[in-house]
Structure formats: structure tokens, C-alpha cells
Amino acid sequence: MLEKYTTYLQNSEKAAPLAVFRILFGGLMIFSTLRFVSQGWVNKYYIEPSFHFKYYGFEFVTAFGQYTYILYAITLLSAIGITLGYKYKTATILFFLSFTYCELIDKTYYLNHYYFVSIIGFLLIFLPANCYFSIDAYRNSKIAFRKIPRYNILVIQLMLCIVYFYAGLAKINTDWLFKAMPLQIWLPSRYYLPVLGDLFQKEWMHYAMSWFGMLYDLAIPFLLLFKRTRVFGFVLVVIFHVLTRVLFPIGIFPYVMICATLIFFDASFHEKIISFFRRLFKIKFVENNRALYLIPNVKKKLLTTLFITFFTFQLVFPFRYMLYPDELFWTEEGYRYSWRVMLIEKGGYVQYKIVNPKTGNWFYVDHNKFLTEYQQKQLRTQADLILEFAHFLEKHYKEKGIENPEVYVESYIALNGRLSQQFVNPTVDLTKVNESFSHKDWILPFNDTIYGF
Amino acid sequence: MKNFKFIFPFILVCLSAIVWSCSDDDPVIESNDIFDRQAMLANWSDNIIIPAYQAFSTDVDALKSAVEAFETEPNEANLNTVRQEWEAAYIAWQNISMFNIGPAETTFMRSFINTYPANVSSINTNISTGNYALQAANANDEQGFPALDYLLFGLADSDAQILEFYTSNVNASNYINYLTDLVDRINVIANQVVASWEGDYRDTFVNNSGAASNSSTNKLLNDWMFYYEVVFRNGKIGFPAGVFSEGSTLPQNVEAFYKKDLSKTLCLEALNAFQDFFNGEAFEGTTRGESVASYLNFLNTMKNGEDLSLIINNQFDLSITAISNLDDNFFNQINTNNNVMLVAFEELQASVVLLKSDMFSALSVAVEFESGDGD
């Protein structure tokens, strides 16, 4: 049984799908990097702010002032390298490192899309996507293959399946399905769309969209995997992503997903795309029919272990929220890195209060002095950021001469249309609390229940 | 495989249809199930904003006439008329300070008309040298109502002594010139803003009825929120009561510091105007049209949630009560019993939570800066 599967994984499959994936992904990353820089976000997010929220364990990651642009230049150049399949190994490693490093500078800007790009960037390092239709293959026929072991393509397909399926699982909760939240808040505000705008004012439409979204996410991996339903599935993919693009400001993620989903199609389809590119750029080509076979050696064994570990992690990690008490949507302990995309509406308000224990005097902090608007918005609803900022303020006011300042937080959160509830225990001095993986018991309990994932 | 020939044109058509649908220059959609956002914008502009600006402008015109009379004949009677007109205009100002959109934004109206505390040393320098440029951005604390407050009430302890600055003082003509220049400046800005609203801007405002971050609704509500939190709550109560200054009170930073007993009146006028705007209540009279409250009510019918507009109104009422309990003279209040100021602050604070957290969330109003990608 196991041998049947390993043989299946090792069998030769045409490399065209992986090559096209590489080109499209690389191309989108070029576009994405240029877009990011041209919007002025490098400056706005990483250079201007004097304070950055750090990822736990990655406190050493900093921006480099104006030199941060060099990192983006590296990302851009390596994305070009990936697209063209030029010095592919170096390009993928540099892309992964530079892109992920930039993301690690400030937790404020965490997006599931960026996490996804990091993952793909990581996987590409270990996949021979430059063996076909690439400059590397052209220059070095030794690494040019028309066929590669099937697992290379399956890895990407599996990752996409996980993203969709887990996004679907996340939508199985009573707020999403039985209260049509948060779509019930978001859709009516898009009243200006013709046809859809009117429909979005109707309550039944909110429920329809919520259920459709959940069913789509769960079903799409299967629709794409089976040949008969593949085209239908792809049409749904396009409609879904274009719709979400119109509705929500989610950048280029929809296009990345649409292009990535092409990998489910047959090799012949991809070879047609490649011939199209060849005709377009007038590239002369002599097809070689070489196939890359899997040689069981140490390197391959390590690779197998890597993939198994990686996918086990991807399958298990999104469930770590179960180790924490209280409601996930409230505390957000275990919320990130689990494909919970556009899932909740959370508004909040936070006010820091400093008490000088010696004099008993207290005062409120003017957050605008330290944080940008974007950072303040993220601060309001995320406990780890609240704690980190508390410690920053402690340090800041110590330097200003207050011995042992105490930091208290008044914070309220409105989750999925509920009335604001107090979030942080206002009597807890956060200077005495340290960040760790254990539950933050200074978060007040959520006084409602949401069932589901 | 044959399907592919048809799939791509089909997708192309779908994409073009949806991309084409992104253009939001469509007129108002008539329907009973839809909240008429353009009607809300029209109610705001026609029944609240424009009448309030016009009333302010009228009062500033009266102030200008009074100052001109005082210039011709600087005596106590005319000084008192100037003071009365200043007070009326200052009260009228409280009804429009919350709006910072359109011409108010481009003329930096609030900054030039009501930055306090007034920079007394700069003002004195301006007067003695006769050299000043009121258009400069950093001259905002040398002009406007707070500067007039100083010139009309703060120059000396007694009215007779104040009058001397404009009659027998060696720089009397400079004092009069500065006084008239300040009033002229307010007059010019006020007229500019009114003219713009009575002209093209009203339609621009009402037609920009989308939901993007630069739509009228979004911009106005974001500014309105900032006004409440920073200009109103912090400016009138928080900063003077020492809430942000490490425990030490700053009573000299109250509004109308020199007039002394006007602080509470201004504060209540502003809060009432703020609540009226929330409820869509017309500037003249008590008719209520579409506004944030009715918008919340419309959205609420769908989710059977809490009656947010009622909760918000209740909190406004509590705030008004707390402020009414304060001395007319905030300066005195802070010095005798600051705790009552802090109680008022906490009531105002509670509204911030409801507005910033609940209301913005319920309306799905994009916070203004959002030019980044979301998730």
C-alpha cells in the first residue's frame, strides 16, 4: 500500500505545470514588490515609524532606515530570477529570506497572504522548477528535464488544498453560519455596486454569501483534484476571487490564488501555455525528453523528511487554538498562521494609563506620539501587541524619570456586531506580565459563546 | 479540453463585467430596503452644515461691524459690543468646529480660528513690531478667538485698564490694528467657506456618496471622531484637567481662559451640536433627517442587536449632565475640585468607546488611513 503511494509520488510527470507555476508566481511577485514600493509602503510601514511590534522570538529583526529599500531590491531581483529561471537556486533562497525578513520587521502588517507567499517561496527552494523552460535549463542541459517526479507538483497542490480547506473549516462557526457575521456588516456598505449593491442590503443575501463561501472553500480542493469537475472548479475560483477583490481591499492575493490554481490542470494545458510564450517571445526550442528520476539517496531522504515535517506542521498548527481556553475570536491566541482569512469584524478602543506609584498621580498616554494610525488600529484588537506596547511605555517612562511606572489598559472590543465589551482587565499592571506561549489570563472572559472551529 | 476555447472568453466577459461594475458614479438607487446614503449627505449639508456655517458667518459679520465701530470710537460701550459679538460668534463656532471637510480643511479653518492657549508673547511681539503674517501655519496660536479672548479680556485686570490699551497706550493704534486684523481674518475664512458650500462644494460633497476611504461619509465621520476625541474631549476637558500631563493640571489651557466664565457654555454648545449631528437634527428647529443614528437603526433591523443609537444617545445625555455639574468657569473648577472634571472626562470617554469601537464597526466605515491591504 505504502509502496503504491511512494511509486505514485515518484512517477514521472511532465514538468510544464511546475514551470508555468514558477513563471506566474515569479511574475506576480515582481508586480507585487513594485506595487508595494510604488505605494510608498516601505517608507510608511518600515522607515517612518519609530516603534515596531516584534514577532515573538524575532526581536532582532529591524529595519535599516533608507537601506531597507535594498531588501526590496533583492526581493525584486530574486523574483525576476525565479520568473526567468535564472540562477534559480540562489533566487529562491534570496527571495524567501528577503521577503520573510521584511515581513518580520513589524507584526502590525501580518497578513495571511504574506504568510502564503513566504510558504510558497520556501517550497520553491526545494522544487526543481527551473528544469523546464528556464534560462538555467537552456544554459545547462544537465539540469534540463521534461519530466520530474510527480511529488514536486503535488506539493504545491497540497499546499493550496490546505489553504482552501482550512479557510473553509474556519468558516464553520455559529457567527459565520447562523448570524451571517461579519458579512452582515461588510456587505451592506458596498451598496454602490450595480446589481450586487442592492442585493447586499438584503439579509438573505448575507446568509447565502456566508454559506456559499464556506461550502466553496471546503469543496474547491476536491473539485480541482478531480478531472471532471476541474474546469467548473476553476470557473468558481475565478468568480470567487474576483468578487472578493471587488469587495475587499486584499491586494494581489486573488490573482496569486487564481494563477496558483492553474497547477491543478493537466500538463498538456501547461505545455500549450508554454508554446504560447515561446511563440510570443520567438524562443527557439528543441524539446528534450529527458526525465528526472528520483534516486533514493541521503539528500532525497532529507527532502522527504522535510516535506513530511512541513506538511504535518501545516496540518496541525492551525488547531493549536484548542490548547487555549476562552473564545478564539476574542483572545486570538492561535489565530494567525491558520488561514482564517477575512473571518471576523473587530472594532476596538484602547487607552493606556500610567500610574506613578510614588505620587499616586496618573495620566493617559497620547498614542499618536509613538504609533502610526495603522499600528494603533492593530493594537486595539490584539493582546500580544497590547502587552508589547505596555512594556515599551514602561521603558519609556522609566527613562523619563518615573521609577517603576505601572501600566494599565482600558480596552474595549466589539466583535462581529456585538456591543463593546471590556477586553483587558483594567486592574492588571501589565509591567508585571511577561510574554509567553501560555494563556493571557489578564484578558477578561468573553461573555458570549461561539460554537465551531 | 474542448471546453477551454469557451472558458477563457467566458472568464474574460465575467472579469470585464465585474471590473466595469467597479465604477461608482451611479446615482442614488431608489428602494425601500436601502438606506439612502445620499439623502444622509444631503441632510447633513443642507440642514445642518450650511445653515450652521451661514449663522456663524452672520455672527462674524456682526463682530466685524462692532470692531469697526470700536476702531472709529474706542470707548467702553463699543468695547462691550465687541465682546458681546465675540461671545455670540464663539458660541456659533462650536456648531461647526466638528466639520473639517472640504473648504474647512483646505483653509485650515479650525487651526486658525480656535487654537488655544493663545501664544501671548508672540501676540505681544506682533503688536509692538506691527510685523506679522497671519497666514503662516505656525501663527495659528496668535489669532482666532483665543487671541481675541486675550485682547478683549486678558490685557489687564480691570475693564478701564483694558480700554487704555486702545486709547492712551503708546501702541494704541497697533492694538487696534491687530484687533481688526484678527477679526478680518476670521471673517475672510468664514466667508470663503460659506461661499464654497453655497457654490460647488455642496454638490461635490453630496455626490461623493460611495464607501471608499475618501468618500464624504468616511472622511466626515473620521474627522468628526477625531474632533470628539482630541479637540473636544482632550482640548476642552482632558488637557486642562491634567489627564495627559503626568498628573499636573493645566487650568490655564481651558477654552476662553481670559473671559473665564464662558468655558462651560462653549463646551455644552459643542456637545449639543455634536449630539444633534449624530441624530440628524436640523440646525434650525428640531426636525430630524437621515444621519448616523438612523443609519445605525437601519442596519440594526437586520441583526436584531442592541439599539446602538439609543445607547449612544444615553451616554451623550450622561455627559451633558456631568458637564452641567461643572462650574461655568473651568479654570476655577480645576483649581477647586478637579475630580468633577475627571468625572466629566470619564463620561466623555465612555462615548469614545461606543463611537470608535461600536459605531465605526457597525457602519463598516474604513478608517481614513487605510491605503494598505487587508486580511
Phi, psi of A452 (to 5 degrees): 120, -165
Distance from CA of A139 to the nearest CA of B (A): 33
Q: Which three cell numbers stand for residue B339?
A: 475630580
> Taking all residues of chain B, what is their mean pLDDT, rounded to a whole number?
88
Q: Report H helices in A85-202.
A: 88-104, 112-125, 135-139, 151-170, 174-178, 183-186, 196-199
Q: Which residues are CB-neighbours of A213 under 8 A, at least 6 positions away?
A: A171, A183
- pLDDT of B27 reads 35
Q: How far apart are CA B87 and CA B63, in angstroms?
A: 9
Rounded to an integer, the average pLDDT of A267-276 is: 91
Q: Which three cell numbers stand for residue A145?
A: 528535464
Q: How far apart are CA A152 and CA A231, in angstroms?
A: 22
> Taking all residues of chain A, what is their mean pLDDT, rounded to a whole number?
92
Q: Do A347 and B361 touch (CB under 8 A)?
A: yes
- Residue B30 pLDDT level (bands cut at 50, 70, 90): very low
Within 286-325 of A, beta carbons closer than 8 Å to B belong to none
Q: Which three cell numbers stand for residue B278?
A: 449624530
- pLDDT of B26 reads 35
Strand order in A406-415's β-sheet?
A362-364, A346-355, A406-415, A421-422
pLDDT in tens, B70-115: 999 999 999 999 999 999 999 999 999 999 999 999 999 999 999 9
- pLDDT of B23 reads 39
B7 at interface of A, judged by CB pairs closer than 8 A: yes
- pLDDT of B328 reads 95
Q: Which three cell numbers stand for residue B185?
A: 481674518
- Contact list, B245 vs chain A (CB under 8 Å): 363
> Taking the model in full, what pTM does it have?
0.86
- pLDDT of A289 reads 74
pLDDT in tens, B304-338: 567 889 999 999 999 999 999 999 999 999 999 99
Instruction: Annotate B213-223 with b (16+ C-beta within 10 A) or e (fewer).
Output: bebbbbbbbbb
Task: Give residue A19's region: left, alpha or beta (phi > 0; psi -120 to 50).
Answer: alpha
Task: Flag whether pLDDT at B29 surpasses 50.
Answer: no
Closest CA to B41 of B190, B215, B195, B198: B215
Q: How far apart are CA A430 and CA A393, in angstroms?
A: 10
pLDDT in tens, A192-251: 888 898 899 888 999 999 999 999 999 999 999 999 999 999 999 999 999 999 888 888
The residue ranking higher by pLDDT, B15 or A2, is A2
CB A107 within 8 A of CB A54: yes
Task: Give residue B187's region: left, alpha or beta (phi > 0; psi -120 to 50).
Answer: alpha
How many other C-beta atoms lie within 10 A of the C-beta of residue A424?
Answer: 22
- pLDDT of B1 reads 46
Q: How far apart are CA B303 and CA B305, in angstroms?
A: 5
pLDDT in tens, A298-351: 888 899 999 999 999 999 999 999 999 999 999 999 999 999 999 999 989 999
Distance from CA of A58 to the nearest CA of B (A): 22
Task: Flag whether pLDDT at A1 surpasses 80.
Answer: no
Count how many Cα atoms sit within 13 Å of the Cα of residue A422 in the half-sphere of its side chain: 10
* Residue A347: closest C-alpha in chain B: B357
Task: Give residue A334's region: left, alpha or beta (phi > 0; psi -120 to 50).
Answer: left
Report the residue from B34, B238, B243 with minimal CB separation from A201: B34
Strands A346-355 and A362-364: antiparallel
Q: How far apart are CA A153 and CA A126, in angstroms?
A: 12
Task: Flag whether pLDDT at B200 surpasses 60.
Answer: yes
Closest CA to A248 of A192, A186, A167, A171: A186
Q: How far apart are CA A203 and CA A212, in angstroms?
A: 14
Closest CA to B74 of B7, B182, B172, B141: B172
Q: How far apart are CA A117 and CA A75, in angstroms?
A: 12
B362 at interface of A, judged by CB pairs closer than 8 A: yes
What Cα–Cα distance (Å) separates residue B250 from each residue in A24, B115, B169? 61, 16, 32
ipTM: 0.78
pLDDT in tens, A28-85: 999 999 999 999 999 999 999 999 999 999 999 998 999 999 999 999 999 999 999 9
Query: How many Å is the Cα radius of gyration of chain B?
Result: 24
Within 380-419 of A, beta carbons closer than 8 Å to B belong to 380, 402, 410, 412-414, 417-419
- Residue of A43, A363, A418 best to disrupt the B interface, most CBs of B under 10 A: A363
- Contact list, A414 vs chain B (CB under 8 Å): 357-358, 361-362
- pLDDT of A300 reads 84
Q: Which residues are CB-neighbours of B66 under 8 A, at least 6 positions away?
A: B78, B81, B82, B84, B85
Query: How many Å is the Cα radius of gyration of chain A?
Result: 25
- pLDDT of A188 reads 87
Give the percent of chain B with pLDDT over 70. 87
- pLDDT of B256 reads 95
Task: Flag whether pLDDT at B10 surpasses 90.
Answer: no
B307 at interface of A, judged by CB pairs closer than 8 A: no
CB A381 within 8 A of CB A411: no
Give the percent of chain A with pLDDT over 90. 76
Rounded to an integer, the average pLDDT of A260-279 is: 92
What's the 3-state SS for A195-251?
Answer: CHHHHCCCHHHHHHHHHHHHHHHHHHHHHHHCHHHHHHHHHHHHHHHHHHHHHCCCC
- pLDDT of B25 reads 36
A157 at interface of B, judged by CB pairs closer than 8 A: no
Task: Give residue A51's region: left, alpha or beta (phi > 0; psi -120 to 50).
Answer: beta
Q: How far apart are CA B145 and CA B190, in angstroms?
A: 13
Report the residue from A39, A112, A365 with minimal CB separation from B371: A39
Rounded to an integer, the average pLDDT of B228-237 is: 95
